[in-house]
């Protein structure tokens, strides 16, 4: 900075004093400013504002030395608080921003990225007890992919959400035992495999590769290391950068977790994690030649299967994998879309939906007309790679786009309370759509949005015709019955690729988009023909079938009455459209009884977020058909307290429960949330196991038989019209365990058998 100002001292009427250079009447150049409260700044000034390098000292003893801009702490600098807490790194408008190191007064240390004063991005946190975490952060909490090592030697490498383990992960115990599985809200939840200490353990290279590719749980890339060292050298901080760069190298994709002694990993004291890690205490085993297939429910072990550790299962899995690939290749043209083709297809979908929604949203709202369902109710557009006057340039292949009945689906989305901007961001945001495996034999491809709200499925030509033909009556039905369980459709589209290949899609709501973990999924038709799943094909995401159902569900009398009233209305509608072959898709969230949860959770770790009024307790004690509260509790509905984030699976009235005086009800989940009970959403029940003792495998242990569950359900597969029944002959030689040939299956008979099966086998009345 050019130094040509005059040097003088000036006292102000408020008691402030400035000694230094001026430019006109403003401090400009080097100078010292003392405020009346005792604060002192000495350093560079430009046009009356602290800009450049300087030192600022507060009366409390806090001190900042570094760069300023426009009188803000901005650039690089060191801030020392009076309690001994020290931060050195980047600043932006008085807040930590960029790369920095903060040593707290209790000796905890964080080194990594900051965003507007909050830990955000890649970083390493070291606690004063020696525990260490290296990985991703979001809004000040551990979030994303990360590795943690507790001071007792236990190591976890996997996914995190909001400071808690959430999703897939590998937990290595200090005694050498290994558990590979899934977690939910910090507790084991779902299926996993435990390898005792001394047993032959699998290579984790493939698992780590799959975790790297998970969009929801990405490993920080090397760009963090490069940007850190480059920025550090530019500011003359090479020593600190070398220290941080070495510590973050554990995040490299070549990191091997088999040697935890070389890892630096840990737990966030600001999160809900316990101060000590005692997970390994219940896992100790001397059976070196065995592995355990386990299933947990919120930290409680509910099923355990013992199998020998051998190569045979591995070979069997390889053969099964080859068979599955062969089946996919035989299915259709759709099944051949892989790798780059799949990427192009998803990108085309996003481009087309963004164009369609953007075009139809500004049109003034109005009631749909008969012409909105007709052949001319289409939006067509060509998307060349280089772009056009109406379409942007893109990195996919040239394609033609067709959108069916845009005004109808625009009104349907509004009817389903979906904001157009949120809908577009969910599907067409910066994140790519995710591939999911097909739960059935249709050969369809399924995508899901990054926020899990929407499922996109490919359609066969006849399915498209069925949906378009029934669309007017469907529109009327969902408008008349807001509690309908029938699949919610949000758009129908077609992409024509080079060579004339046509791919048709429908966008649907994902009824399993919920903050609760779905432990089981069932596709129920009321048929016994082929309605089971081989044990070697079952994993945590498998959709099971009728003969796999081991439970019957008992719910409040009024809730059950509302459920069957709507099922009857929906089946009557499908019957009128000559539809057969539909299913009830049922999702179960199990709640561990409180007496069992207490065995695996530290005292006081589960706290009720809402107090229960005494009046509600009295009603619950007196109510008939009462669901005994173990992990669930029904309480009077209070809109201001419930967690009711709008979603495509949520629509309709809050239901009334007989057990609390025919009042609208909320579901209280101790330690989790308070949710409104709606038809097919957040419905509480008790699941009674129907598994007979003589059918239990010797290697399988069921630890208890009655469960509290939260149910999610909807009627799906509604596009199978009666006139294509010949294609169902193999699948429906029997219905509801009664021999019946396909020739006598009529839509009315199918509806009656479907309702009867749900009434007698799935949701029987409480005796």
Looking at residue 266, what is its pLDDT? 33
Residue 437 has pLDDT above 80, yes or no: no
pLDDT reading at 600 higher than 50: no
In sequence order, which ranges of 332-460 are alpha helices (DSSP H)?
339-360, 406-415, 420-428
SS3 755: helix
pLDDT of 450-461, one tens digit each?
888 999 999 999
- In three-state secondary structure terms, 466 is helix
Residue of higher predicted confidence among 538 and 470:
470
Give CA torsion, residues 698, 699, 703, 709, to 10 deg: -110
Q: Is the per-residue pLDDT at 227 higher than 60?
A: no
Give the per-residue pLDDT at 73: 94
Mean residue pLDDT of the chain comes to 77
Q: Which of 209-213, 534-538, 717-721 is most confident?
A: 717-721
Residue 323's pLDDT is 33
Strands 543-544 and 520-524: parallel
Dihedrals phi, psi of 232, to nearest 5 degrees: -65, -45
Instruction: Give residue 633's pLDDT.
Output: 83
pTM of model > 0.85? no
pLDDT for position 262:
31
Beta bridge partners of residue 725, listed in sequence order: none
Beta bridge partners of 506: 457, 492
Token output for 101 = 């190191």
- Give me the mean pLDDT over the 701-714 stretch: 76
d(CA 445, CA 107) in angstroms, rounded, equals 52
The model's confidence at residue 155, banded by pLDDT at 50, 70 and 90, is very high
* Structural tokens at position 683: 């419905």
Q: To 10 degrees, the CA torsion angle through 536, 539, 545, 549?
A: 100
| CB-based burial label for 488 (10 Å; 0-12, 13-18, 19+) | buried
What pLDDT does residue 435 have? 83
pLDDT of residue 477: 96
Residue 614: band (very low, low, confident or very high) from pLDDT cuts 50, 70, 90: very low
Please tell me which residue, 650 or 315, carries the higher pLDDT value.
650
Residue listed under structure tokens 């992919």: 145
Give the number of other CB atoms < 10 A from CB of residue 680.
26
* Phi and psi torsions of 355, nearest 5°: -65, -45
Q: What is the pLDDT of residues 494-512, one digit of tens each?
A: 999 888 889 999 999 998 8
pLDDT of residue 440: 54
Q: How far is CA 381 from the centre of its chain?
A: 33
For residue range 79-107, list pLDDT tens digits in order. 999 999 999 999 999 999 999 999 999 99
Lowest mean pLDDT among 484-493, 551-560, 596-605: 596-605
CA distances from 343 to 396, 428, 635, 759 (A): 8, 13, 47, 44
E strand segments, 679-729: 683-689, 700-702, 706-716
Residues near 402 by beta carbon (within 8 Å), at least 6 away in sequence? 378, 379, 380, 493, 494, 495, 496
Highest mean pLDDT of the ranges 18-22, 221-225, 319-323: 18-22
Check residue 24 and give its pLDDT.
Answer: 83
Which DSSP category does 721 fall into? B
Top mean-pLDDT range of 268-277, 487-496, 584-593, 758-767: 487-496
DSSP 347: H
- Please name each of the domains of the chain with its CATH number: 8-135+149-159 (2.20.110.10), 339-510 (3.30.800.10), 515-594+650-692+702-766 (3.30.810.10)
d(CA 107, CA 126): 9
Cα 81 from Cα 66, distance rounded (Å): 15
DSSP H helical ranges for 154-305: 205-213, 223-234, 238-248
Q: What is the mean pLDDT of residues 413-423?
A: 87
Going by pLDDT thresholds of 50, 70 and 90, the confidence category of residue 34 is: very high
Spatial CA neighbour of 709 closest among 578, 549, 528: 549
Residue 470 vs residues 463, 482, 488, 575, 719: alpha-carbon distances, Å: 11, 18, 13, 12, 9
DSSP annotation of 176: S
- In the chain, count of helices (H) and strands (E)? 12, 40
* Token representation of residue 507: 């966008």
Looking at residues 556-581, what average pLDDT do you find?
93
pLDDT at 208: 63
Please state, for a pLDDT cut of 90, what percent of the chain lies above it: 38
Question: Lowest-confidence range among 114-128, 286-300, 496-510?
Answer: 286-300
Q: What is the pLDDT of residue 184?
A: 86
Closest Cα partner for 217 from 144, 285, 168, 162?
A: 144
The phi and psi torsions of 473 (rounded to 5 degrees) equal -70, -35
The pLDDT value recorded for residue 380 is: 93
Residue 157 has pLDDT above 90, yes or no: yes
pLDDT value of residue 340: 64
pLDDT at res. 289? 66
The predicted-structure confidence for 241-265, as pLDDT tens digits, reads as follows 333 333 333 333 333 322 322 333 3
pLDDT at residue 222, as a whole number: 38
Residue 743 has pLDDT above 60, yes or no: no
Token reading at 593: 């009884």
pLDDT, tens only, 373-388:
988 899 999 999 998 9
Task: Tell me the per-residue pLDDT of 319-347, one tens digit each, with 9 for 90 and over.
Answer: 333 333 333 333 444 444 455 667 888 89
Give the integer Cα–Cα distance in Å for 527 and 734.
6
The segment with the largest mean pLDDT, out of 186-190, 350-354, 498-502, is: 350-354
Instruction: List the structure tokens of 387.
Output: 């772009």
Question: DSSP of 429-462, one letter per residue?
Answer: SSSPPEEE--SSSS---EEE-TTS-EEEEEE-HH
């Amino acid at each position: 900075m050019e130094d040509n100002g005059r040097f003088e001292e000036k006292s102000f009427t408020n008691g402030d004093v400035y000694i230094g250079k001026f430019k006109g009447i403003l401090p400009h150049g080097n100078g010292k400013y003392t405020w009346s409260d005792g604060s002192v700044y000495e350093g560079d000034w430009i046009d009356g504002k602290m800009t450049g390098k300087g030192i600022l000292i507060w009366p409390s003893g806090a001190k900042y030395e570094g760069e300023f801009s426009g009188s803000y702490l901005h650039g690089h600098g060191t801030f020392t608080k009076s309690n001994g807490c020290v931060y050195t790194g980047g600043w932006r408008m008085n807040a930590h921003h960029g790369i920095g190191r903060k040593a707290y007064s209790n000796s905890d240390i964080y080194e990594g990225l900051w965003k507007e004063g909050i830990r955000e991005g890649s970083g390493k946190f070291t606690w004063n007890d020696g525990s260490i975490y290296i990985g991703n952060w979001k809004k000040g909490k551990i979030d994303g992919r990360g590795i943690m090592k507790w001071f007792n030697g236990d190591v976890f490498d996997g996914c995190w959400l909001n400071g808690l383990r959430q999703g897939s992960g590998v937990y290595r115990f200090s005694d050498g035992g290994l558990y590979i599985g899934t977690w939910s809200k910090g507790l084991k939840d779902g299926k996993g495999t435990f390898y005792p200490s001394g047993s032959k353990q699998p290579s984790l290279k493939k698992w780590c590769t799959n975790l790297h590719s998970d969009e929801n749980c990405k490993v920080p890339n090397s760009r963090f290391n490069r940007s850190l060292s480059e920025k550090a050298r530019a500011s003359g901080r090479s020593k600190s950068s070398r220290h941080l760069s070495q510590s973050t190298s554990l995040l490299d994709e070549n990191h091997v977790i088999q040697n935890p002694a070389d890892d630096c990993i840990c737990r966030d004291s600001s999160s809900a994690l316990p101060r000590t890690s005692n997970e390994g205490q219940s896992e100790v085993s001397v059976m070196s030649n065995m592995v355990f297939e386990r299933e947990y429910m919120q930290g409680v072990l509910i099923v355990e299967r013992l199998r020998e550790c051998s190569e045979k299962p591995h070979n069997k899995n390889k053969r099964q994998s080859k068979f599955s690939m062969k089946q996919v290749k035989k299915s259709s043209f759709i099944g051949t879309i892989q790798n780059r083709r799949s990427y192009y297809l998803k990108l085309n979908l996003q481009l087309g939906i963004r164009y369609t929604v953007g075009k139809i949203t500004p049109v003034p709202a109005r009631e749909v007309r008969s012409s909105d369902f007709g052949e001319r109710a289409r939006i067509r557009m060509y998307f060349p790679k280089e772009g056009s006057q109406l379409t942007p340039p893109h990195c996919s292949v040239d394609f033609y786009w067709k959108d069916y009945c845009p005004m109808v689906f625009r009104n349907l989305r509004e009817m389903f309370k979906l904001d157009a901007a949120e809908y577009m961001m969910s599907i067409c945001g910066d994140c790519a759509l995710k591939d999911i495996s097909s739960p059935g034999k249709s050969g369809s491809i399924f995508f899901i949005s990054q926020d899990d709200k929407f499922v996109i499925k490919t359609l066969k030509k006849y399915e498209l015709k069925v949906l378009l033909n029934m669309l007017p009556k469907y529109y009327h039905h969902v408008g008349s019955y807001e509690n309908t369980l029938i699949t919610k459709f949000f758009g129908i589209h077609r992409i024509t690729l080079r060579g004339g290949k046509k791919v048709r899609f429908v966008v649907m709501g994902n009824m399993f988009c919920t903050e609760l973990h779905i432990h089981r999924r069932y596709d129920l038709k009321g048929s016994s023909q082929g309605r089971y799943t081989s044990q070697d094909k079952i994993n945590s995401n498998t959709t099971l079938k009728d003969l796999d159902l081991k439970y019957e569900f008992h719910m409040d009398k009024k809730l059950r009455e509302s459920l069957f009233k709507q099922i009857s209305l929906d089946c009557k509608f499908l019957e009128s459209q000559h539809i057969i072959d539909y299913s009830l898709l049922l999702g179960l969230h199990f709640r561990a009884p409180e007496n069992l949860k207490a065995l695996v959770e530290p005292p006081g770790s589960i706290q009720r977020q809402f107090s229960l009024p005494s009046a509600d307790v009295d009603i619950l004690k007196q109510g008939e058909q009462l669901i005994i509260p173990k992990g669930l509790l029904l309480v009077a509905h209070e809109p201001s307290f419930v967690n009711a984030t709008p979603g495509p699976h949520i629509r309709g009235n809050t239901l009334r429960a007989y057990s609390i005086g025919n009042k609208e009800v909320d579901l209280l989940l101790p330690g989790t949330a308070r949710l409104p009970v709606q038809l097919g959403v957040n419905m509480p029940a008790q699941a009674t196991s129907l598994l007979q003792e003589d059918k239990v495998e010797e290697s399988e242990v069921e630890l208890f038989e009655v469960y509290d569950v939260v149910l999610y359900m909807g009627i799906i597969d509604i596009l199978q019209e009666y006139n294509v029944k010949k294609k169902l002959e193999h699948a429906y030689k029997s219905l509801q365990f009664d021999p019946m040939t396909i020739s006598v299956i009529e839509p009315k008979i199918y509806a009656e058998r479907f309702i009867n099966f749900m009434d007698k086998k799935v949701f029987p009345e409480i005796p």
